[in-house]
């Protein structure tokens, strides 16, 4: 069967869902296809931090009701390093420094809110599709082929949104010679848990220790999201619940009391920086993780996905309004400078806070000096605040 729409979107993650919503608001039709089930997408534990502008945007587009009720607005973070009377805790207030804050609201909650709103308003999301592929990218009628409920299907559209994440099919469908890839792998990963216990502080604590980095964040006043730096090839089976708690206690250095709870989810995420240039080919436009990956330290992944599709939706809307292709042609060059700034910040936070295998005592002293500088200098902490709470977006 052939379906016809204006924009065919592959992937029902933050990028694809936000793209469909923004297009709908501009009166443009789309169909989303997704290879996982709705239940799987809505239970997948990933990012949790929303920049100020992204919060405002979700509220503006009518998706803020639960976010405002259940999201946890944060005025800043705490850096923890060294030892002093405060357990090495150094608060940095973003609201004071740059007049912006951040919101903790789990990615799967964002996904649930989008799914509910889109499906209720008639935007088709086809879950559990198989064997998706893209065709005729250089023509005015590109196609997406796939199987749904065992039947071969095709979407004929004007544009394709390649929102299918890092392991999707869209980026590999572009001829290798047309892309330049920029890549860095880190020699560590993050072991993340979700625990039914209150977080140790009402703000996020980023802790630098001799044993490695740890992050103490949350999903609600009674659910903690806790991360430990581990080796890049670490096996989760080596980490019993007792070992995880022991390490989380040690890396908090007594700065706060850490309550233990039932661990309801755990997993290891590798750390990588990656950018594709350009982010488009013919009528295929990549957005979010399909085009770039950041290490999670700067909490930028979901926010970048939203930022990309904001630009893309505007460019597509301009095309339907007047036939103008200029914004579409300039999509990559419009979004990439901000993508690279987020890459730089994510890399900077990562190298500042983690222990590297080949570092020596000089590197540790340098990291401590830099942390001390960031915590103590208005200029340096403003730089952190400005990037963390989200660089300007027009
Ligand atoms: P995705 O969310 O990956 O969405 C892509 C969608 O496409 C998925 O639903 C996928 O199932 C679907 N798809 C893939 N292939 C196909 C196909 N062939 N056909 C149809 N559909 C397809 N960021 C942070 O800031 N902090 C974190 O703590 C954090 N933790 C993370 C943990 C993990 C395990 C991962 C993988 C990512 C994490 N991120 C984190 C990054 C953040 O979640 C992503 O940046 C964000 O999900 C990007 O959204 P996206 O829509 O571009 O991609
Ligand atoms: C979360 C994850 C991050 O990587 C981060 O820097 C801040 C918060 C989170 O999952 O809450």
Query: Does the pTM exceed 0.85?
Result: yes
pLDDT at 84 over 80: no
Share of the chain above pLDDT 90, in %: 98
Q: Which atom of ligand 2 is nearest to the CA of 104?
A: 11
CA 176, CA 178: separation in Å to the nearest integer?
5
Ligand 1 pocket, residue 219 CB under 6 Å? no
184-197 average pLDDT score: 98
pLDDT at residue 348, as a whole number? 98
- Residue 85 pLDDT more than 70? no
pLDDT, tens digit (0-9, with 9 covering 90-100), for 331-366: 999 999 999 999 999 999 999 999 999 999 999 999
Task: Please determine, for residue 86, whether its predicted confidence score (pLDDT) is greater than 80.
Answer: no
Atom 40 of ligand 1, residue of closest alpha carbon:
47
Which has the closest alpha carbon to 390: 313, 301, 330?
A: 301
Nearest CA to ligand 2 atom 9: 48
The answer to whether 291 touches 171, Cβ cutoff 8 Å, is: yes
Tens-digit pLDDT profile for residues 239-254: 999 999 999 999 999 9
Q: Residue whose CA is closest, atom 37 of ligand 1?
A: 46
| Nearest C-alpha neighbor of 78 from the set 227, 202, 219 | 202
Residue (of 15, 61, 88) closest to 251 by Cα position: 88
The pLDDT, as a whole number, for residue 98 is 98
Catalytically annotated residues: 74, 206, 296, 300, 388
* CA of 299, closest atom in ligand 2: 6
pLDDT, average across residues 289-314: 98
Exposure class string for 312-347: b at 16+ Cβ within 10 A, else e:
bbbbbbbbbeeeeeebbeebbebbbebbeebbebbb
Pocket perturbation via mutation, ligand 1, pick of 36, 108, 165, 311 by most ligand atoms within 8 A of CB = 165
The continuous run of DSSP H or E covering 328 comes out as: helix 326-329
Tell how far the Cα of 45 is from the centroid of ligand 1, in angstroms.
10
Question: Confidence class of residue 76 from pLDDT cuts 50, 70 and 90?
Answer: very high
Q: What is the pLDDT of residues 50-74, one digit of tens each?
A: 999 999 999 999 999 999 999 999 9
Return the pLDDT at 228.
98
Instruction: Please give the pLDDT value at position 87.
Output: 79
Residue 47 C-alpha to ligand 1 middle, in angstroms?
Answer: 9
Atom of ligand 1 nearest to the CA of 269: 34
Q: Whose CA is nearest to atom 27 of ligand 1?
A: 47
Kindly report the average pLDDT of the chain as a whole number.
Answer: 97
Task: Answer yes or no: is the C-beta of 15 below 6 A from any ligand 1 atom.
Answer: yes
């Amino acid at each position: 069967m052939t379906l016809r729409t204006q924009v065919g979107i592959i992937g029902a993650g933050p990028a694809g869902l936000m793209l469909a919503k923004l297009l709908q608001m501009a009166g443009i039709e789309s169909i989303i296809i997704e290879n996982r089930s709705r239940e799987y997408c809505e239970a997948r534990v990933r990012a949790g931090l929303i920049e100020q502008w992204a919060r405002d945007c979700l509220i503006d587009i009518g998706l803020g009701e639960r976010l405002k009720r259940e999201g946890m607005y944060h005025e800043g973070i705490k850096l923890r390093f060294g030892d002093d009377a405060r357990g090495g805790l150094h608060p940095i207030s973003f609201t004071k420094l740059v007049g912006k804050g951040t919101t903790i609201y789990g990615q799967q909650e964002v996904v649930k809110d989008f799914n509910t709103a889109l499906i209720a308003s008639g935007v088709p999301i086809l879950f559990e599709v198989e064997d998706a592929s893209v065709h005729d990218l250089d023509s005015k009628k590109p196609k997406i082929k796939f199987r749904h409920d065992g039947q071969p299907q095709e979407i004929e559209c004007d544009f394709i949104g390649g929102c299918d994440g890092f392991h999707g099919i869209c980026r590999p469908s572009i001829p290798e010679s047309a892309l330049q890839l920029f890549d860095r792998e880190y020699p560590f990963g993050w072991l993340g848990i979700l625990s039914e216990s209150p977080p140790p502080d009402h703000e996020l604590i980023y802790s630098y220790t001799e044993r490695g980095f740890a992050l103490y964040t949350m999903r609600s006043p009674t659910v903690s999201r806790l991360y430990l730096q581990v080796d890049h090839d670490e096996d989760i089976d080596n980490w019993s619940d007792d070992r995880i708690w022991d390490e989380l206690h040690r890396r908090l250095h007594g700065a706060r009391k850490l309550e233990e709870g039932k661990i309801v989810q755990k997993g290891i995420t590798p750390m990588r920086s990656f950018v594709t240039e350009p982010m488009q080919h013919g009528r295929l436009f990549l957005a979010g993780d399909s085009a770039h990956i950041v290490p999670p330290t700067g909490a930028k992944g979901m926010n970048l996905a939203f930022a990309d599709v904001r630009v893309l939706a505007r460019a597509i809307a301009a095309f339907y309004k007047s036939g103008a292709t200029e914004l579409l042609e300039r999509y990559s060059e419009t979004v990439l400078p901000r993508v690279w700034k987020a890459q730089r910040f994510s890399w900077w936070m990562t190298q500042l806070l983690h222990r590297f295998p080949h570092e020596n005592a000089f590197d540790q002293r340098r990291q401590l000096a830099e942390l001390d500088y960031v915590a103590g200098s208005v200029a340096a902490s403003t730089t952190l605040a400005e990037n963390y709470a989200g660089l300007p977006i027009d």
